[in-house]
Structure 1
């Protein structure tokens, strides 16, 4: 591989203007496609094959009027006042009449028509249904509704907004992208000691993100692209785009300092650091693409969108970066080289001295690291999975205030009703059976209310709404769903009736179980394929095993801290977590896939330099220290960049994005600095030459991918001789 990358790097360096022009054209084309012809964003969360999804699909087909987006307006009066006062009723009616002027609205049901008033008449709600699906409701309709709310708010009636239509748009990440980029730039300035050079990885990352995210936006015309997929693509695109460029530029500068000619140095940096970039990128893409085995379209698209952006970042690193470095010439070199002053270093780099320290005390460091990470991981044993509801939104948002008002006025279970579909499997009428089942449901534990059955036109399907007494994420509510399903199985054995449960709580349960079932296959795929890649790269059995075990420590420790913050509320104020609640049920799998790819990035970048030193000298333990000394500074910068890029997303108000940002930030922090920069050198010091052992039979089978560029170096040396 190194030979091909050497030629690619040299070709790109010699045709710099063509390569830069080509990527510019691709970027402009992607921006045009992703803005002018952008597809719709879909937030549908379907779980094929589950009971809740089957019920949801059936109800959507038989009750098409329920497919439109809905908005729930929650009204509340101060203590001692009621919504039934004549003046208040007139104000509410006037506001609803104004809202009804929007032709996109199908119906508006006022609290006075439906009796949707709390026992003390202080809290009530009105339901608005739109013709279009929730994600397709226009911005003009949302603006009109918000303007109408002034008619009640201005007269002292608290009016909050809830429902499936996101009327008050929340920013997914706020200024996090800008914050992450600015801090990354400062880190690069410190790393390279040059403002000019520090800008190169930022520019290349922005080009990659621009092409990747715009490509994803255009792809929404053909696939159901969700906003979380775009955000994940943005997060990873920025992080890996900067890191991959950083490694090639850093290697090029080191070679320039040794006196190598510019284009030859670019080609060699592409051959060596570029090889590490390709294998690191492959591990990330494998991990992300493995999301498809979960068979949840929302999750699969998220992984594929991010994987596409990582792919673009790899291509840019091995083509555009060599072209830019060629045009930059000596300007990317260090001041010492540019000034032609001899290099005199008073002391070894900190990374080298850190490696020496680890080599002296490998056992204590290893024991302390494992014990510390295990302690952080303990809370993960009690992790509770779920889907965040509006009750976990920030307290200053309208949806959270509306959620709290509905809980206060109608009980906590009102925010998570269960939809029960009662279908005749023989095609006969189900009216009497549905009424009987509805009465039976009303006698069950933890049921606050049951609505009368609503029949479809054919009369063979009925829908019943069940309001639990407990909230959507309460264990008692989950038990109720299971009890209703068990009762439905009993009825199905006695009559041609099928009872199915759907709704947010049921979907939550099914999604968690579905992911738990898919996780072993998911983990086996990413770990198995990554193990093979690392086996090819390092031609060692123990190095891949060590890499996987180190990743597991990072993963469990990160999950343990996330559980402590989000589930138990520790340090909640520090991270602006509005309310304690379950961990997003797809977070463990998302963190596993993304963190595994990133962990292998650091493994490849760090250990490949150790392997290169070992191949050159044949000395195992000194190569660990030397390899860490050469690559430690760059790996540190790469880790810090990812930490701040991901950390910026902790500022997002959305609890899901906040949890993803915090988990990835912690994962990179622990894996880069505790596992890769500390525990890995300690283990490899203890293993010595055994680190690079490969059975002869396996050595004959495996192809030599030459990630260290030994073939190129030998060829260059022979040419000099």
Structure 2
């Protein structure tokens, strides 16, 4: 099939390019508005207890769960006339949106016994609390609109918006800005490195063209999907980053093989066809592995994860199709101009380096390194494995948490509000837990006793119910009658002085759950939402991991005909990713390098990011594994089937591909490091983690550990039981036969045309 595709592209290159341009423009036009049709939520599902509790409160006790906090900060004290005037203005604005805002409370309008909790210790900050109605996709949009009307950034009195809704609105805004900056950083650097790696401006332009096509096609596909299902706006980051990265990888593989065939004396048309038969076949298998790795995200119920699967599969398919269909046509049209605009010669002259001389594979650094490694395989394997396990050891202490305002850089309004609530108030009003008793039909005395018991839990400053306000088991004020309803149960508000995402916050929540309730109890709030979402996600991890492992083993068996190499590849990739995750825990959870990288450690990692990193980095690792094994297998099939033949095949395979996949990894890491420049810590984690995973895999794994293990296993690398050998002979991938040079009457005429 690939041969037929290549022949068609070579015979009619202008038609292929023209159709591609039409598709690119069409998809770009369709996908131009995709941003406005995507949603910013998707982290939770409606079956979670905490989400059901929030929905129940919204339906029966509107405004009972504040998710929007305004701090009114005065240069003097919050009781000043200027502060009161600013508060009145804010209350009027909130009151003008009764359809989306409810339960407005403020320091200036609260009952005397509740006012003190809404005033900071130094009396310069006072609070206005409100509840914005809507799901996790609607909340950030509505909060952003309200904040534009309400916030006052300068003057004697400032008003800033915080709370869960405002925090996610600011996170979305920050990520959108950071994406533009990331592209502005990554694209010029990538373009320069492409010119140096590919050897010319003309060759460097090819992967950029393919990347633009892959991104445009993916945006069009995502726009169609938004009319069918919910798609997270965060998936746009993957579309741009992965589209460019894979286009670079696939172009580098195919163009390198094309040049190699030209050097061996093939005509341009024959070289293109042979490159697609070999490197193109590798690209297709690599794309299948990457796409199937990302498709494992579909097992998670949250549409946040599903969206990354949609975007990833779409961009992988588009990049692979462009590489095996469009790139051959472009190579034919470019012809001998593939080396036009060579930058390497002037750069060498600038730095007074000797002219570059082409080396035979056995003269390269990579051949020498692998020969050195395979002379001492056991010691290299043990030392490298121990090093990776040491890097991965911090992951044993990983703690997962829901992202909050501390994901944002200092200076952002919701982050400032969060810092004020955590440091200037006895209890963080935005972190309170709300206990819902939907079936409660008992007496006030029963509710009173329950509230009293809850107030005895450590680090609970107060419990508010319809019966009373309690501190340390003591009644301190009258309750709020609106917190109970004869037909719809009751609810209680449990304040906390702990970080809800910390271990202590989780333990406190468990203690609160253990307090006997007068009826069925559902708990919502940051701590409960975090605990429920983490449990829901981790419950699907074994299935997702099993699907990735199974598809990887099957595809690599069909690719190599061996059962040993797929298992080896799977183990090495997991080892590499474990080391990366350990480094991320050491940096982001434990806070090392926080000053250098510019983030605030919360003692937890956002669980979504390691899952996305695993799927994406695993696919990228398999990308290089497939490319390396393709050349090693090609050498093995052409040489003696002995231990020495295996050793030489490994050395020659790495020698022919080492520079290519290392360059590809460097270029891909530049794209991810652009994402890591984000001011949002979870995106910084994602970008840096993916970059480290790709670089370590292309160097430590492919250059040291993989050759050492393949030397130790010898001819057993290629072993499979007889039934599987028969299966591979029937369904597996087999090396394409050399294609004779095409006749001038068909292909050469079209090339010259």
Per the normalisation by structure 2, the TM-score is 0.86
- 1:278 maps to which residue? 284
Q: Does 1:373 align with 2:374?
A: no
2:663 to 630, 634, 637: 637
- 2:417 maps to which residue? 402
1:672 to 679, 695, 698: 698
Distance in 2, matches of 1:693 and 1:604, equals: 18
- 1:294 maps to which residue? 300
- 1:20 maps to which residue? 17
Q: Does 1:616 align with 2:622?
A: no
- 1:625 maps to which residue? 651
Report the secondary structure of 1:702's partner residue: helix
Report the secondary structure of 2:631's partner residue: helix
> How many Å apart are 1:424 and its aligned residue?
1.0
The 3 A distance-change label for structure 1 pair 698 and 370 is: same
> How many Å apart are 1:480 and its aligned residue?
2.1
The 3 A distance-change label for structure 1 pair 542 and 65 is: same
The 3 A distance-change label for structure 1 pair 143 and 700 is: closer
| Contact residue 212 and residue 309 of structure 1 kept, 8 A | yes
- 2:123 maps to which residue? 121
> How many Å apart are 1:231 and its aligned residue?
1.6
- 1:361 maps to which residue? 376
- 1:594 maps to which residue? 616
- 1:228 maps to which residue? 234
- 2:84 maps to which residue? 89
> How many Å apart are 1:635 and its aligned residue?
0.4
- 2:568 maps to which residue? 546
Report the secondary structure of 2:736's partner residue: helix
Report the secondary structure of 1:388's partner residue: coil
The 3 A distance-change label for structure 1 pair 517 and 106 is: closer
Q: Does 1:663 align with 2:684?
A: no
Superposed counterparts of 1:226-265, under 5 Å: 226-265=232-271
Q: Does 1:441 align with 2:458?
A: no
Distance in 2, matches of 1:690 and 1:98, equals: 74
> How many Å apart are 1:255 and its aligned residue?
1.0
The 3 A distance-change label for structure 1 pair 455 and 90 is: closer
- 2:471 maps to which residue? none
Distance in 2, matches of 1:234 and 1:566, equals: 25
Superposed counterparts of 1:566-577, under 5 Å: 566-577=588-599
| Contact residue 32 and residue 219 of structure 2 kept, 8 A | no
- 2:272 maps to which residue? 266
| Structure 2 segments unaligned to the other structure (5+ residues) | 343-355, 467-481, 745-753
Higher mean Cα deviation, 463-472 or 212-221?
212-221
Report the secondary structure of 1:447's partner residue: coil
| Contact residue 427 and residue 461 of structure 2 kept, 8 A | no
Report the secondary structure of 1:385's partner residue: coil
| Contact residue 352 and residue 629 of structure 1 kept, 8 A | yes
Superposed counterparts of 1:119-518, under 5 Å: 119-128=121-130, 135-136=137-138, 142=144, 145-146=147-148, 148-150=150-152, 153-157=154-158, 159-165=160-166, 168=170, 169-172=173-176, 173-174=178-179, 175-332=181-338, 345=359, 348-411=363-426, 413-424=428-439, 428=441, 433-453=446-466, 454-455=482-483, 459-487=487-515, 490-491=516-517, 497-518=519-540
The 3 A distance-change label for structure 1 pair 679 and 334 is: farther
Q: Does 1:45 align with 2:43?
A: yes
Distance in 1, matches of 2:243 and 2:484, equals: 48
| Contact residue 460 and residue 495 of structure 2 kept, 8 A | yes
1:712 to 721, 729, 737: 737
> How many Å apart are 1:444 and its aligned residue?
2.3
> How many Å apart are 1:60 and its aligned residue?
3.9
Report the secondary structure of 1:233's partner residue: helix
Q: Does 1:604 align with 2:606?
A: no
Distance in 2, matches of 1:692 and 1:667, equals: 27
> How many Å apart are 1:685 and its aligned residue?
2.0
The 3 A distance-change label for structure 1 pair 686 and 501 is: same
Report the secondary structure of 2:501's partner residue: coil
| Contact residue 558 and residue 731 of structure 2 kept, 8 A | yes
| Contact residue 199 and residue 339 of structure 2 kept, 8 A | no
Distance in 1, matches of 2:539 and 2:310, equals: 21
Distance in 2, matches of 1:225 and 1:537, equals: 34
Distance in 2, matches of 1:422 and 1:103, equals: 26
> How many Å apart are 1:431 and its aligned residue?
6.2
> How many Å apart are 1:612 and its aligned residue?
0.4
The 3 A distance-change label for structure 1 pair 244 and 506 is: same
Q: Once the two structures are superposed, what CA deviation does each residue of 1:658-708 show, in whole Å capped at 9, x if it has no partner?
A: 111121111112112111222111211222222112222220122456756
> How many Å apart are 1:147 and its aligned residue?
5.8
| Contact residue 286 and residue 622 of structure 2 kept, 8 A | yes
> How many Å apart are 1:148 and its aligned residue?
4.8
> How many Å apart are 1:119 and its aligned residue?
4.6
Q: Once the two structures are superposed, what CA deviation does each residue of 1:613-665 show, in whole Å capped at 9, x if it has no partner?
A: 11112321111111111111110111111111111111101111111112111
> How many Å apart are 1:538 and its aligned residue?
0.7
| Contact residue 429 and residue 459 of structure 1 kept, 8 A | no
Distance in 2, matches of 1:66 and 1:253, equals: 68
Distance in 2, matches of 1:13 and 1:333, equals: 19
The 3 A distance-change label for structure 1 pair 573 and 517 is: same
The 3 A distance-change label for structure 1 pair 429 and 665 is: same
Distance in 2, matches of 1:684 and 1:250, equals: 25
Distance in 1, matches of 2:571 and 2:6, equals: 35
| Contact residue 424 and residue 430 of structure 1 kept, 8 A | no
Report the secondary structure of 1:578's partner residue: coil
Q: Once the two structures are superposed, what CA deviation does each residue of 1:537-593 show, in whole Å capped at 9, x if it has no partner?
A: 011121111101111211111011101111111122222222342011223322222
The 3 A distance-change label for structure 1 pair 226 and 688 is: same
The 3 A distance-change label for structure 1 pair 606 and 416 is: same
Report the secondary structure of 1:614's partner residue: helix
Q: Does 1:112 align with 2:108?
A: yes
Report the secondary structure of 1:73's partner residue: strand
Count of matched residue positions in the alignment of Structure 1 and Structure 2 = 698
Q: Does 1:72 align with 2:69?
A: yes
> How many Å apart are 1:457 and its aligned residue?
6.5
